[in-house]
């Protein structure tokens, strides 16, 4: 059993080494984005999509994450996340 665990860990190390660190803009709400968004996906999606999304687009994205993807984010935190993304990564 230990051999299997060791082999799995060794295979994961190269994959982890390739991950890049994404530093979001520090502003009110960045903590909520880091907590909720990276549970399911890389934070790299935020700056990558920012050229294409305005306030309406970020609102739709956060709403989709909650209603379609099942993200467990309460309404107050969802508003905070939408505001942060719009102010810091909107068009």
Query: What is d(CA 27, CA 30) in angstroms, rounded to the nearest whole number?
Result: 6
State the CATH number of the domain containing residue 84: 1.10.760.10
Give domain status of residue 75, yes or no.
yes
Q: Which of 30, 22, 39, 42 is nearest to 80 (CA)?
A: 30
Give domain status of residue 1, yes or no.
no
Residue range of the domain that includes 58: 23-89
User: Does position 81 have pLDDT exceeding 90, yes or no?
Assistant: yes
Give domain status of residue 39, yes or no.
yes
Give domain status of residue 71, yes or no.
yes
Residues found in the chain: 91
User: Does position 68 have pLDDT exceeding 90, yes or no?
Assistant: yes
Residue 75 has which token pair? 């309404």
Q: What is the mean pLDDT of the chain?
A: 86
Whole-model pTM? 0.76
Give domain status of residue 56, yes or no.
yes
**pLDDT value at position 73?**
96
The stretch 62-88 carries a mean pLDDT of 97
**9-46: per-residue pLDDT in tens?**
555 545 444 567 889 999 999 999 999 999 999 999 99
Number of separate domains in the chain: 1
Give domain status of residue 32, yes or no.
yes
């Amino acid at each position: 059993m230990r051999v299997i665990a060791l082999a799995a860990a060794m295979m994961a190390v190269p994959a982890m080494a390739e991950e890049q660190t994404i530093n979001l803009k520090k502003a009110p709400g960045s903590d909520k984005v880091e907590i909720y968004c990276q549970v399911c996906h890389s934070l790299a999606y935020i700056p990558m999509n920012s050229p294409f999304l305005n306030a309406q687009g970020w609102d739709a994205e956060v709403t989709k994450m909650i209603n379609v993807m099942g993200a467990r984010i309460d309404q107050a935190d969802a508003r905070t996340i939408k505001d942060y993304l719009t102010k810091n990564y909107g068009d």
